[in-house]
């Protein structure tokens, strides 16, 4: 494998702090949205966000992911129908009482209209293995790698100016069928993307303070 010189622009301490504060202030405003406008969004912006996502690091640089960008109305409807079937089963039979109690403050149920209303769905698939010339080849740290790439994607979409929802219907096998994915791929995350609906409301959440979420071992 050939190597090349790293292109890296070093910032001074004050610039590091000011840049980090600007990013922190912007990311503090990121919120999950369940009510979307159906206004179209430029596909170039979505594709650029996905390009950012696939620049993420991965185990042995295997890049064990596929990102499906869906704007076709018929396909979105198929996804909604299949997702609501699984979600109805979850809410009525599979979910434990404790789980439902934790979900109750968010006022969620098995109805998922955002899967059709949002102008774009991004489905993230993880590749359990890859196909070699003669046999399967193992991918390493698949969940970690795809999780990092998904984080890149969510931050990119927020920075661009779009709202998202991290949706995880359980199980998600229907996505592999609807989108005709190969047998080495498993659905990892379903992300509706778009502008928030007018006058959308979001829960008032209390986040853990820094002192509870972080331990420090400073010198």
Mean pLDDT, contiguous 10-residue spans, the chain (219 residues): 94 97 95 97 98 97 97 98 95 93 92 98 96 84 98 98 94 96 96 96 92 95
What stretches of 19-119 adopt beta strand conformation (E)?
A: 65-70
Phi-psi region of 32 (alpha: psi -120 to 50; beta: other; left: phi over 0): beta
Provide the whole-model pTM. 0.95
**pLDDT for residue 149:** 98
> Which CATH number fits the domain 33-195, given the four candidates 3.40.109.10, 3.40.50.300, 3.40.50.2000, 3.40.50.11740?
3.40.109.10
What is the DSSP secondary-structure string of 14-36? HHHHHHHHHHHHHHHT--B-S-B
Taking the C-alpha atoms of 41, 46, 47 and 49 in order, what is their torsion angle to the nearest 10 degrees?
150
- 185-194/163-164 β-pairing: antiparallel
Domain map (residue ranges) of the chain? 33-195
What was the pLDDT predicted at 54? 98
**Tokens 């076709």 sit at which residue?**
72
Q: What does the pLDDT read at residue 131? A: 85
Q: How far is CA 1 from CA 4, 7, 61, 64, in A?
A: 10, 18, 12, 19
Can you give the pLDDT at residue 166? 97
Query: What's the confidence (pLDDT) of residue 135?
Result: 80
* First-to-final CA distance of the chain: 38
pLDDT at 134: 74
């Amino acid at each position: 494998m050939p190597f090349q010189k790293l292109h890296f622009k070093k910032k001074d301490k004050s610039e590091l702090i000011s840049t980090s504060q600007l990013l922190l202030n912007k990311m503090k405003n990121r919120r999950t949205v369940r009510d979307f406008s159906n206004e179209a969004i430029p596909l170039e912006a979505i594709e650029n966000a996905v390009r950012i996502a696939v620049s993420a690091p991965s185990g042995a640089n295997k890049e064990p992911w596929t990102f499906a960008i869906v704007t076709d109305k018929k396909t979105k409807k198929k996804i909604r129908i299949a997702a609501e079937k699984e979600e109805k089963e979850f809410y009525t039979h599979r979910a434990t009482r404790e789980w439902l109690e934790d979900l109750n403050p968010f006022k969620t149920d098995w109805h998922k209209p955002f899967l059709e209303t949002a102008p774009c769905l991004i489905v993230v698939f993880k590749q359990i293995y890859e196909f070699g010339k003669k046999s399967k080849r193992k991918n390493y740290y698949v969940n970690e790698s795809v999780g990092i790439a998904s984080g890149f994607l969510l931050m990119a979409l927020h920075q661009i100016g779009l709202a998202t929802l991290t949706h995880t219907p359980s199980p998600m096998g229907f996505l592999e069928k609807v989108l005709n994915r190969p047998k080495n791929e498993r659905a990892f995350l379903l992300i509706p993307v778009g502008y928030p609906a007018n006058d959308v409301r979001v829960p008032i959440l209390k986040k853990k303070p820094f002192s509870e979420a972080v331990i420090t071992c400073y010198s």
